[in-house]
Amino acid sequence: MVAAIIRIGLFLISWFSVFLIPKNDFKKFTPVALFATVLLLIETILSVPFKWWTVKGGPLKKAVNDFSFIFGPFFVGTIWIFRFTYGKPLIYMITNVLMDAFLAYPVSWVMQKLNVFKLVKFKPKHIFFTAIIYALVIYGFQMVISHSRFKNKKSSVSH
């Protein structure tokens, strides 16, 4: 029951915070958040055969658990981080290192104590390092998107 309340709470709080994001920023950073979401969905799918983590209650509970995090705090958090740090790579990386360390160590420890999930072959250091790799990849993705948008605007102005 506690795990369900945590899942629902994190999902709802994340989405209520969206109303505080300017509409243009939400639109601008939704593609990178969707790309990051796809990466995490792939990791989640791979977690089953490789037994990276488990959730009490079987596959349906695991899907609900993973999706509530991916489409809640992860998706919305990606937009928030890009909103405040995009264009400032050093600030972006410092923010990600701090957030990823927080997620990998104290948050995952608390979530395991509350039976939200149980890490098996995936350890906190794996959470941290994969999150850092994702941060680098999605920043590059956003740079490509921003560059192509700028190029498109520039070419449409010159014609």
Full pLDDT tens readout for the chain, 159 residues: 788 899 899 999 999 999 999 999 999 999 999 999 999 999 999 999 999 999 988 888 889 999 999 999 999 999 999 999 999 999 999 999 999 999 999 999 999 999 899 999 999 999 999 999 999 999 999 999 998 876 666 666 555
* C-alpha atoms less than 13 angstroms from C-alpha of 6 in its C-beta half-sphere: 16
Mean of all residue pLDDT scores within the chain: 93
Dihedral (Cα; 79, 85, 87, 90), 10-degree rounding: -130
pTM of the model: 0.90
**Domain residue limits, the chain:** 2-153
Query: pLDDT of 126-135, one tens digit each?
Result: 999 999 999 9
Residue 26: burial class (beta carbons within 10 Å; 0-12, 13-18, 19+): middle
